[in-house]
């Protein structure tokens, strides 16, 4: 367990961020070190090359070729000229065109004289060349070699050199000091990165601890924002929103359990009561038949609740497959409204329709259920001498199906909940026709499954209006005319 904990710590995000930052810094520092060293070497070599160019030019003032030999012309009593000639002759090699050595300094010989082939190559090229060479002890020299035309028009080979030990020392000293500072700098940066990474990731730890402490009893838990509106604040917002959705889901599950228990307990209690009454008081076949008939009605109600719940659950979990086809919404609405004419007349309610030709794409059975549930809800909660109106109309953005009534209306505080399972607006009159509270849940699911939007407007004492908006479908004029002809016929 301890090894697992250590491995998890090492592989943690804080460690990884620290290692990434330090690795990037190390690569940057090493790269800059190499770049600076190369730049310094180039600058030092350029300076040495400029000095050699000056010394090459100085040779013309002191070096003379006479009768095949080399003569140095200078004032032996002038200390400056003596010093200059000595410096020029310090690392020097002179040969004739055949490669025969005319003069070669001892220091040049330690580095190594040029071969005859190399001398001829340079003379034939006619160009002055510069190159780096090391002596036997490893000291670095820069040489400038090329043809030299004497006053007698005879060509000689001249090579002059300069030791770069001081330049190398400067470059090596720079590298030693530069790379000597790097390790403590990296260590300090690693500590700083570790601290900053921990501080930056602290909200993530808070989110993790909060997530671990969440139970069904404390879903109101939220993490305060940092106030900088960065990615971590967005993560905190997403986490808090997720917790809110979980709390809503748990509340819905609790309420659903309570509602289901109530809906199932009521008919079961009624059945038990009726059977107990029959057991203790019924004495004739007629009385037993009456009790059994009442029990069967309650059993039917119980079965209806179970079937409705099962169907709604299957629908919401995607187990109900929709068979979409072109639907003549005007004809379908006319068929459904005919089914409600008799119940409306019995309730002394006027059922009106204003239907225009309209085609949509959908599942005919589910669209019929949507219209039926809306009409049933409207008729159920509309008082006598009220009016229920069904409208189908074509709009620019699609097709609208509208069901309005002149019932008691829905208070504003209940409108956001009317599509929830088992939700029923409190009825002071205790309307015996109140349903299970599942009809509008079906309506909401059917609308969503067909990509439609549902909107509710309601005024207490004046009634309610449910509007279902279906998206526009490509419908030809012939199809619309045929739909109108079927209704007229």
DSSP symbols for 346-393: HTT-EEEEEE---EEEEEHHHHHHHHHHHHHHHHHTPPTT-EEEEEEE
For the domain covering 232-317, report its CATH number. Answer: 1.10.287.130
Distance separating alpha carbons of residues 23 and 17, to the nearest angstrom:
10
**Tokens linked to 271:** 């059945």
Position 428 scores a pLDDT of: 54
pLDDT tens per residue across span 196-219? 888 877 777 777 777 777 776 777
CA dihedral for 475, 479, 481, 483, sign (positive or negative)? negative
**pLDDT: is 4 or 449 the higher one?**
449
Q: Does the structure show a pLDDT above 70 at 18?
A: yes
Distance separating alpha carbons of residues 327 and 459, to the nearest angstrom:
32
Among 108-122, 136-150, 304-318, 320-334, name the one with the lowest average pLDDT.
Answer: 304-318
Q: Does the structure show a pLDDT above 50 at 166?
A: yes
- DSSP run (H or E) holding 158: strand 155-163
Q: Does the structure show a pLDDT above 60 at 180?
A: yes
Pairing label, strands 63-66, 69-72:
antiparallel
| Ranges of each domain in the chain | 13-170, 232-317, 325-471
Position 290 scores a pLDDT of: 79
CATH 3.40.630.10 fits 325-471, yes or no: no
CA angle 419, 343, 390 (to 5 degrees): 55
Provide, for the chain, the percentages of residues in helix, strand and coil under a 3-state DSSP scheme, each rounded to the nearest 5.
55, 20, 25
Distance separating alpha carbons of residues 456 and 464, to the nearest angstrom:
7
**pLDDT: is 76 or 264 the higher one?**
76
**Which residues lie closer than 8 Å to 327 by C-beta, 6 or more apart?**
359, 360, 361, 362, 364, 367
CATH 3.30.450 fits 13-170, yes or no: yes
Position 12 scores a pLDDT of: 77
Position 288 scores a pLDDT of: 77
Position 206 scores a pLDDT of: 74
**pLDDT: is 248 or 374 the higher one?**
374
**pLDDT: is 109 or 306 the higher one?**
109
Among 66-80, 82-96, 281-295, 407-421, name the one with the lowest average pLDDT.
Answer: 281-295
What percent of the chain shows pLDDT beyond 90? Answer: 41
Distance separating alpha carbons of residues 157 and 357, to the nearest angstrom:
109
Position 216 scores a pLDDT of: 66
> Quick check: 94 and 158 in contact, CB under 8 A?
yes
Position 27 scores a pLDDT of: 93
Q: Does the structure show a pLDDT above 70 at 145?
A: yes
Distance separating alpha carbons of residues 164 and 460, to the nearest angstrom:
101
- pTM, rounded to two decimals: 0.48
Averaged pLDDT for residues 224-249 = 78
Residue with tokens 């990615």: 231
Among 147-151, 251-255, 348-352, name the one with the lowest average pLDDT.
Answer: 251-255
Position 10 scores a pLDDT of: 47
Averaged pLDDT for residues 39-58 = 91
Distance separating alpha carbons of residues 210 and 193, to the nearest angstrom:
26
């Amino acid at each position: 367990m301890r090894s697992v904990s250590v491995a998890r710590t090492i592989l943690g995000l804080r460690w990884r961020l620290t290692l990434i930052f330090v690795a990037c810094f190390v690569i940057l520092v090493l790269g800059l070190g190499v770049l600076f060293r190369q730049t310094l070497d180039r600058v030092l070599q350029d300076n040495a090359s400029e000095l050699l160019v000056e010394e090459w030019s100085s040779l013309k003032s002191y070096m003379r070729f006479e009768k095949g030999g080399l003569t140095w012309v200078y004032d032996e009593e002038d200390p400056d000229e003596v010093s200059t000639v000595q410096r020029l002759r310090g690392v020097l090699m002179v040969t004739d065109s055949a490669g025969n050595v005319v003069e070669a300094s001892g220091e040049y010989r330690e580095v190594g004289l040029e071969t005859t082939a190399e001398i001829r190559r340079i003379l034939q090229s006619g160009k002055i060349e510069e190159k780096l060479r090391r002596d036997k002890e490893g000291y670095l020299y820069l040489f400038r070699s090329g043809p030299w035309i004497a006053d007698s028009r005879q060509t000689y080979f001249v090579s002059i050199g300069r030791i770069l030990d001081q330049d190398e020392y400067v470059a090596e000293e720079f590298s030693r000091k530069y790379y000597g500072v790097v390790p403590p700098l990296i260590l300090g940066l690693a500590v700083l990165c570790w601290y900053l990474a921990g501080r930056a990731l602290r909200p993530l730890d808070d989110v993790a601890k909060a997530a671990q402490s969440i139970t069904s009893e404390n879903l109101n838990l939220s993490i305060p924002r940092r106030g900088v509106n960065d990615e971590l604040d967005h993560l905190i917002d997403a986490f808090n929103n997720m917790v809110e959705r979980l709390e809503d889901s748990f509340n819905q599950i609790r309420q659903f359990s309570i509602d289901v228990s109530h809906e199932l307990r009521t008919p079961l209690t009624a059945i038990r009561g009726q059977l107990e009454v029959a057991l203790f008081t019924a004495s004739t076949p007629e009385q037993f038949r009456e009790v059994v008939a009442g029990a069967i009605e309650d059993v039917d109600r119980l079965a209806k609740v179970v079937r409705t719940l099962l169907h709604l659950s299957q629908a919401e979990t995607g187990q109900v497959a929709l068979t979409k086809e072109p639907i003549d919404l005007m004809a379908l609405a006319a068929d459904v409204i005919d089914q409600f004419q008799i119940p409306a007349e019995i309730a002394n309610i006027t059922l009106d329709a204003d239907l225009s030709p309209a085609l949509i794409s959908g599942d005919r059975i589910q669209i019929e259920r949507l219209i039926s549930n809306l009409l049933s809800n409207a008729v159920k909660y509309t008082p006598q001498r009220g009016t229920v109106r069904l409208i189908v109309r074509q709009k620019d953005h699609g097709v609208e199906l509208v069901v309005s009534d002149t019932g008691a209306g829905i208070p504003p505080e209940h409108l956001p909940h009317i599509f929830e399972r088992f939700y029923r607006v409190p009825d002071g009159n205790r309307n015996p026709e109140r349903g299970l509270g599942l009809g509008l849940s079906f309506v909401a699911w059917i609308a969503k499954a067909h990509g439609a939007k549902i909107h509710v407007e309601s005024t207490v004492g004046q009634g309610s209006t449910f509007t279902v908006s279906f998206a526009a479908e490509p419908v030809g004029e012939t199809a619309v005319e045929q739909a109108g002809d079927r209704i007229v016929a």
